[in-house]
Amino acid sequence: MTIDLRDLESIPDPLRAAATVPRPQRALPVPSANDVGPTRSALRSRRVVALLAGALWLLLTPLLWGYRSDIPFEQLALHVALPAALGAAALVLAFSSGKAGLGPGVRPAIALGVAAPLVFIAAALCTPCHESVSEVAWSSFLCGDALLALALLPLGLLAWAQRRTAVAGARYRGVIAGGAIGLVAAGFQALHCVHSDGWHVAFGHGWPIVALGALGGLVVSRVTRVS
């Protein structure tokens, strides 16, 4: 179907005269101190603090739990580096300014938001899958909970750093941010996790990514939306 938007001009504007008639402007509202947001540079500093604190948390927590030193190169690439890289890319996209300064376009955002977890799961399934369903279910439950706990602080920090900054697309940006943090956390989790079976990584490290995406869409988007 071809849409010619020039046709729109044929619809008269009912409020043209009334809405555009010169009118006295109401006085400039004087905002209280709470109502004045941070300047651009202050916001940048806040983001840097949140990113550094989040990264430190992700590095230190598995350090306390213990890192594995016997991870084969293939698993290091597919279970650790790949999700971390995908998550970082999604995070950059979620908070990029876009052409109009209103955030990324919907298409690339949704494409990466959907593709990144799917690529991670597919890559995980490319590694050996030997565990039984019951083993995978139990280990996925435990590992997934730990991953959620690992990711919550960075996600909270991100929401704090970005609060009241999303003027458009807050919902889908929140989903992508949540999923992105989940992917990065999944990478760090794999450095510690004793289960390297493909099924376990795909589901045990995969479901928290989906859950964090949902959390991002429901909670983070409310915090980051300009309100």
Partner 1 sequence: MTDTPQEGAKADEAMNRYAEGDDSAFAIVHQAVYDRLFAFLARMSRSPILADDLLQETFLRMHRARGSFVRGARLLPWCYAIARNVCIDHARQRAVRKERTVGSDEGEAAFEQPTGPDADGEQLTMAAELAEVVERALAKLPHNQREAFVLLRYEGLSVADAAAILGTTEGAVKLRAFHAYEALRAVLGSLAPKKRGAS
Q: Which is nearer to partner 1, 73 or 99 (CB)?
A: 99
Q: Does 154 bind partner 1 (CB under 8 A)?
A: no
Closest CB 226 distance from partner 1, rounded Å: 4
Q: By the 8 A CB rule, do 220 and 176 touch? A: no
| First vs last C-alpha separation in the chain | 38
Residue 67 region, left (φ>0) first, then alpha (ψ -120 to 50), else beta? beta
CB of 123 to partner 1, least distance (A): 29
When binding is defined by CB under 8 A, the residue of 68, 164, 192, 222 that contacts partner 1 is 164
Of positions 69, 101, 132, 133, contacts partner 1 by CB under 8 A: 101
Q: How far is the CB of 183 from partner 1 (least distance, A)?
A: 23
Nearest to 168 by CA among 119, 92, 218, 98: 98
Contact 149, 212 (CB under 8 A): no
Q: How far is the CB of 21 from partner 1 (least distance, A)?
A: 5
- Rounded to a whole number of angstroms, the minimum distance from the CB of residue 171 to partner 1 is 8
Site membership for partner 1, residue 41 (CB under 8 A):
yes
97 Cβ contact partners less than 8 Å away, ≥ 6 residues apart: 103
CA distance 210 to 41: 33
Region of 12-20, 54-62, 63-71, 134-142 interacting with partner 1 (CB under 8 A): 12-20
> What does 120-143 look like in DSSP terms, one character per residue?
HHHHHHTS-----HHHHHHHHHHH
Q: How far is the CB of 225 from partner 1 (least distance, A)?
A: 7
- Residue 94 near residue 106, CB atoms below 8 Å: no
Using rule CB under 8 A, residue 8 touches partner 1: yes
160 contact partners, CB below 8 Å, separation of at least 6 = 46, 50, 223
Sketch the per residue contact string, 21 through 40, with partner 1: x for CB under 8 A, - otherwise.
Answer: xxx-xx-xx-x---xxxxxx
Q: What residues make contact with partner 1 under the rule CB under 8 A? A: 3, 5, 7-23, 25-26, 28-29, 31, 35-43, 97-103, 105-107, 164-172, 225-227
